[in-house]
Chains A and B, each alone.
Chain A
Amino acid sequence: MRSRAHWCWFSLSYVMILLKRRSSIAETRCLLYLEHMIFKESNMTTGIEARGFIFGPPIALAIGAKFVPLRKPKKLPGEVFRQEYDLEYGSDCLEMHVGALASGERALVVDDLIATGGTLCAAMKLLECAGAEVVECACVIEIPALKGRERLNGKPVYVLVDSQ
């Protein structure tokens, strides 16, 4: 599916080029994506370990938000919030630092892919338990057949491309 989002993410470097010269449709579409995020007025961008760490920080830097990592167990030092979630076989857990955010802060959750939605759902619960407002989840890829969106309680998910 060659949506406008396809052009934005396949070369995120366009984001930087477009700030200097807005000459092509591809670059304009990337600007639209960035403006989409700025319009949402997020105070913070969270990225889910580890592939969310690749995309989350550049977005945070570009929109003037702080970056907060959501990590696997025992990776973060000090006091943490924990949220367990189910896997196909067994369970896993996400953690976030206590004090990483202030109550009422508007958060964007970034990961590379949404499949069953279990990880994103855990991330949302973690942030909401800490008092944040999850504005949106953003992923590069979605696997629609796994219906991950249905686990997110109506929270919007911004996806760039589908994996058929």
Chain B
Amino acid sequence: MFAAENGLSGDPRLQGIYEAIRVVPNFPKPGIMFQDITSLVSNHRVFKDTIDILVDRYKNMGISVVAGVEARGFIFAPAIALEIGAKFIPLRKAGKLPGAVISESYELEYGNDCLEMHVGAVNIGERVLVIDDLVATGGTLSAAIRLLERAGAEVVECACIIGLPEVEGRNRLDGKPVYILVEPRQQNYVVWYITLRSSLVLTFFICCNA
């Protein structure tokens, strides 16, 4: 569910968050329009707005655990946990957490990956919020939900800054609600076109005068 359709319609903070996202074409591979949140967190006001919106939503839901998915989930989850008085637990890639862990595999477009959590990180019945920067197919969040439920926790909701079209229209993931702040930023093709045309004109001018 998108924030603008659930109580935050017209909230100017959402527009600021949307505009703070940088689109990087062809990363990590050709054809992918990467939604970069580093430009968002380098803007203090917008970063604070992002955290404030999520804190306002979750502060009265009885959440005792905020789980962040490595690595970009680590940027948002601890700040939310601190504000709502919950503990923060990291969900990490394989081999990063010391000591006894439980693991959950999930499928990528090509191959598999794995999320791990410390044994004993959550108690049975604890109410958990899962945070990541972006949800696409939902594979990573689904693995996070399964991991936490295997440990006996109750996943209340998943929250992401950006929701890709693959998840649009799906209010729930594995039966759990997914709260999303904004849609993917569209690259500004008008600016790109003007820049390209100006470059071609300038190049032609230089060649003619050479």
Contacts and interface: CB of A to CB of B under 8 A. Distances in A.
A79 to B, nearest CB: 10
Nearest to B88: A54
A66 interface: yes
A28 to B, nearest CB: 18
Interface residues of A, number: 30
Contacts of A78: 22, 24, 27, 36
Main secondary structure of the interface of B (DSSP, over half): mixed
A118 interface: no
A60 B83 contact: no
Interface string A90-128: 000000010010000000000000000000000000000
Nearest to B41: A67
B208 to A, nearest CB: 31
A61 B79 contact: yes
How extensive is the interface on chain B, given as a class? Answer: 20 to 34
Contact of A57 (B27, B34, B41, B90): B41
A146 interface: no
Interface in B1-52: 22, 24, 27-28, 34, 36, 38, 41-44, 47-48, 51
B70 A77 contact: no
A67 B41 CA distance: 6
A69 B82 contact: no
A60 B47 contact: yes
B120 to A, nearest CB: 18
B79 A58 contact: yes
B78 A58 contact: yes
Nearest to A101: B42
A91 to B, nearest CB: 19
A67 B47 CA distance: 9
Contacts of B62: none
B75 A57 contact: yes
Interface in A61-86: 61, 64-69, 71, 74-78
Interface string B54-90: 0000000000000010111011101100110100101
- Nearest 4 A/B pairs, CB to CB: A77-B24, A53-B74, A77-B27, A66-B42
Interface of A: 12-13, 15-16, 44, 47, 49-51, 53-55, 57-58, 60-61, 64-69, 71, 74-78, 97, 100
